[in-house]
């Protein structure tokens, strides 16, 4: 187990959701040409300053942040050092850190990716691809970290594989969901949820209910809320009656809220508060 991961990843995430009374997660995927002009410096320095500023603005309003690894990796090793710095800052704000890295390898390479995500970067959870099978996911779980397995993603092109129907009637996504549920049973926490969760896109509304039922102990990471078109009532089916069971992510609609004209950090803060409050009601976590 990693030195920094001392409790079950699902329990820690659920504690943060309950402490914040909200299942909202801000996706931090900064692209240089959309940053506020008032932030100056090199491209990477601007991304770092913006990232840290977003964390300041959202801390206390949401329980978790999802860091898009690619935005930082585009700058090579220097970018990965910044990513680790941003993750550290997020944790010091009390935010649960989800590294959206979509890694997918096996054996010792998978263990190396776990070391990279949980030790070198300092994430609590990582997203991972199931194409090589469940043995891709186990090395992450064995470190004590959390994994959101890609099951049903929000992009249009995902249908061409994930919606293919098997001869037993299930879709490919449902087949993966069943395997995730079975493996996840081995990694249960005290709160009744597994440290193996699943990514189920908010834009795939028709599938959300069935995937929720197929994965009753998986925390669902639901991207696509906000700019990608997913709506609050679309994601209602993801929540357990306790209000737990799902973390709903919005990225562009929150981090670029300043484009509407307000000072950028207050724009981000207001957008995070608004989203957090809306989702808290949908989940039943606030009256």
H helical segments located in 59-151: 69-73, 76-92, 107-114, 138-142
Under a CB-based contact definition with an 8 Å cutoff, are residues 78 and 44 in contact? yes
* Residue placing its CB nearer to its own copies in the complex, 161 or 213: 161
Rounded Cα–Cα distance for residues 53 and 50 (Å): 5
Task: Find the shortest distance in angstroms from Cβ 241 to its own copies.
Answer: 31
Q: Which tokens hold the place of 208?
A: 């959300």
Could you give phi then psi for residue 150, rounded to 5 degrees? -70, 115
State in angstroms the smallest separation of the CB of 111 from its own copies. 8
Residue 66 falls in the annotated catalytic set: no
Q: What is the DSSP string of 38-84?
A: T--SSHHHHHHHHHHHHHHHHBTTBSEEEEEHHHHHTTHHHHHHHHH
For its own copies, give the closer residue by CB, 77 or 261.
77
Q: How far is the CB of 31 from its own copies (least distance, A)?
A: 6
Rounded CA separation 130/181 (Å): 13
| 143 versus 276: smaller Cβ distance to its own copies | 143
Among 66, 102, 204, 273, the one annotated catalytic:
102
Closest separation in Å from C-beta 157 to its own copies: 3
- Would you say 111 or 286 has its CB closer to its own copies? 111
Note the residues at the interface with its own copies (CB under 8 A). 29, 31, 68, 70-71, 73-84, 102-110, 112-113, 115-116, 120-121, 129-136, 150, 153, 155-162, 164-167, 169, 172, 175-176, 179
Q: Which residues are catalytic?
A: 102
């Amino acid at each position: 187990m990693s030195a920094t991961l001392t409790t079950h990843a699902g329990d820690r995430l659920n504690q943060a959701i309950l402490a914040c009374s909200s299942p909202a997660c801000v996706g931090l995927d900064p692209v240089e040409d959309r940053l506020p002009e008032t932030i100056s410096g090199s491209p990477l320095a601007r991304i770092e300053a913006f990232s840290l500023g977003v964390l300041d603005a959202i801390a206390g309003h949401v329980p978790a942040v999802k860091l898009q690894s690619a935005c930082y990796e585009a700058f090579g090793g220097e970018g990965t050092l910044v990513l680790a710095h941003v993750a550290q800052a997020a944790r010091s704000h009390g935010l649960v850190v989800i590294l959206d890295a979509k890694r997918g390898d096996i054996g010792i390479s998978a263990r190396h990716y776990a070391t990279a995500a949980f030790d070198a970067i300092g994430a609590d959870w990582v997203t991972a691809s199931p194409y090589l099978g469940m043995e891709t996911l186990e090395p992450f779980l064995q470190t004590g970290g959390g994994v959101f397995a890609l099951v049903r993603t929000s992009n249009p092109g995902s249908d061409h594989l994930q919606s293919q129907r098997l001869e037993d009637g299930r879709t490919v996504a449902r087949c993966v969901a069943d395997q995730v549920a079975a493996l996840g049973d081995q990694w249960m926490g005290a709160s009744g949820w597994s440290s193996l969760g699943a990514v189920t896109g908010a834009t795939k509304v028709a599938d959300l209910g069935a995937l929720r039922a197929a994965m009753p102990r998986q925390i669902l990471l639901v991207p696509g809320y906000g700019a990608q078109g997913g709506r609050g009532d679309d994601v209602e089916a993801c929540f357990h009656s306790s209000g737990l069971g799902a973390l709903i992510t919005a990225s562009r609609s929150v981090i670029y809220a300043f484009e509407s004209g307000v000072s950028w950090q207050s724009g981000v803060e207001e957008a995070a508060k608004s989203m957090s409050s809306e989702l808290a009601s949908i989940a039943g976590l606030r009256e």
